Amino acid sequence: MKTPHGLRGKTGVLILVMVVFGPLGDVLLGKGMKPIGAITSWSPTAFAHLFTRAFSSALIWCGIGSLLLFLLAHLLVLSWADYSFVQPASATSYLVVALLGVLWLGEAVTAMRWTGVLTICLGVVLVGGTPPRTTAQG
Amino acid sequence: MTMRGIVFLASIVLGGTAGDLCVSRAMKHIGEVKNFTPRHLLRVLLRAFRVGWMWLGLALMTVAFFSLLAILSWENVSFVVPATALNYAVGALGARFLLGERVSAKRWGGVLLVCCGVALVWYG
């Protein structure tokens, strides 16, 4: 099946939004929750205090915003592209997670983890070489 | 691995993937989005949430999420997360047999590489 250039282009743009904003949202939530500390009490008062502190953090709001963008892109791309195309292609987020970990959080990434990321990228290249849509619309 | 672990792992993989497949079906029902203005996007979302498949999908994803939280209370992350790489293989199978997508040999090859890669990332 021949894929229109525009279809491949907008699919690529939305998958790019997913692989950037999904991991970014996770990292922002992680960074926002760290200063709040571990949950030590499960009482309603402690939870109310936790929520108040969490939702007064700009990082948490940026994280929520990023994840909402991710969700919107995910829903929109599925309105035309195959699930069997979108799901593996969005695994490129593992590369973004590794890069964010190294460059922003200063984490060490092991050789095995880089091998995994490279294997995922090879898989994504293979999937990306197939048409994004193989079913009729409607 | 205990029977309880197998049940929860199956719930994560099957529930999460089935949820995604239902959401995909709901969005296919809406049809290809061609207009990306905020007003049109809002209308698309409102239509999507009037499709039963969307709610079924969200419910299944919720089951998968809480199963993940539960299994993490007794199994190691280093075991659970690589196991969830099965999502990619199950997702491709579901897309082929439930959504009628044509999964070519090349796409299967890509999916299997992604599965192996995710497992390596988490073992690393």
Model confidence over B81-93: pLDDT tens digits?
A: 777 888 899 999 9
Directed axis angle between helix A93-103 and helix A111-128, to 10°?
140
Nearest-neighbour CA in chain A from B4: distance (Å): 26
pTM: 0.84
Q: Helices marked H in chain B — which ranges?
A: 3-30, 38-48, 52-71, 77-83, 86-97, 105-123
Model confidence over B42-52: pLDDT tens digits?
A: 999 999 999 99
- Output the DSSP codes for A88-132: HHGGGHHHHHHHHHHHTS-----HHHHHHHHHHHHHHHHHHTS-S
Domains of chain B, by residue range, sit at 3-123
What is the mean predicted confidence (pLDDT) over A40-46? 77
Residue A51 has pLDDT above 70, yes or no: yes
Give the C-alpha separation, A80 to B33, whole Å.
7
Indicate yes or no: CB of B110 within 8 angstroms of CB of A110.
no
Assess B58–A contact: CB distance below 8 Å, yes or no.
no
Question: Using 50, 70 and 90 to split pLDDT, how confident is the model at A137?
Answer: low
* Chain A: residue whose CA lies nearest to B102: A134
Q: What is the pLDDT of residue B105?
A: 95
Range with the poorest average pLDDT among B39-43, B103-107, B117-121: B117-121
For residue A79, give the nearest of B27, B104, B110 by CB distance: B27
Contacts of A110 (CB under 8 A, 6+ apart): B124
